[in-house]
Amino acid sequence: MTDALIGGIVVFVLASFVGFEVINKVPSLLHTPLTSASNAISGITIVGSMVVVGMITPELSNVFGVIAVIFAMINVVGGYLVSDRMLAMFGADKKKDEKEAKS
């Protein structure tokens, strides 16, 4: 267990540095979509939620798990879709989405 914990910490620290490097280059123009897109990525908790629900677990754990899946899925789906809506306004294929944005 301790080995796994140490391994996890190593991965966490290195991945944080990768994150700093990649995200520092995003221009302020796109900071709102960046926030919502990275927000959607944080919905990766969906993985943990699904495992917890699918396992043979006491009932209470299942209840928590199902709500967790719903929450994480809202985070994932909602996050990617709002990012896409915003990015469509910036991108090259702008025309198509004009109507959608107005409605």
Partner 1 sequence: MMQHVAELAYLLAAIIFIIGLKWLSSPVRARKGNMLSAVGMLIAILVTLLDKQIVSYGLIAIGLLVGSVLGVWMARAVKMTAMPQMVGLLNGFGGGASLLVAAAEWYRLIQPGQLLTTGTAVTIYLSSLVGGVTIAGSVVAALKLQGWVVPDRPVLFPGRHALSIGLILTVIAMGVYLGYNPGTMWAFIVLNLASMILGIQLVIAIGGADQPVVICLLNSYSGIAAAMTGFVINNHGLIITGALVGASGIILTNIMCKAMNRSIWNVLFGGVGVVVAGSGGDKGAALRAKGVRTITQEDTAALLGYGKLVIVVPGYGMAVAQAQHQVRELADLLHKRGVEVLYAIHPVAGRMPGHMNVLLAEANVPYEALLDLDAINPNFDRADVAIVIGANDVVNPAARHDTSSPIYGMPILDADKAQHIIVMKRSMNPGFAGIENELFYDSKTQMLFGDAKKTLLGLINEVRTLE
Token code pair at residue 99: 């109507």
Q: How far is the CB of 10 from partner 1 (least distance, A)?
A: 9
Q: How far is the CB of 37 from partner 1 (least distance, A)?
A: 5
Looking at residue 57, its amino acid is T
Q: How far is the CB of 98 from partner 1 (least distance, A)?
A: 7
* Dist CA 43 CA 70 (whole Å): 11
Give backbone dihedrals phi and psi of 24, rounded to 5 degrees, phi first.
Answer: -60, -25
Token code pair at residue 32: 């709102």
Q: How far is the CB of 6 from partner 1 (least distance, A)?
A: 10
Phi-psi region of 99 (alpha: psi -120 to 50; beta: other; left: phi over 0): alpha
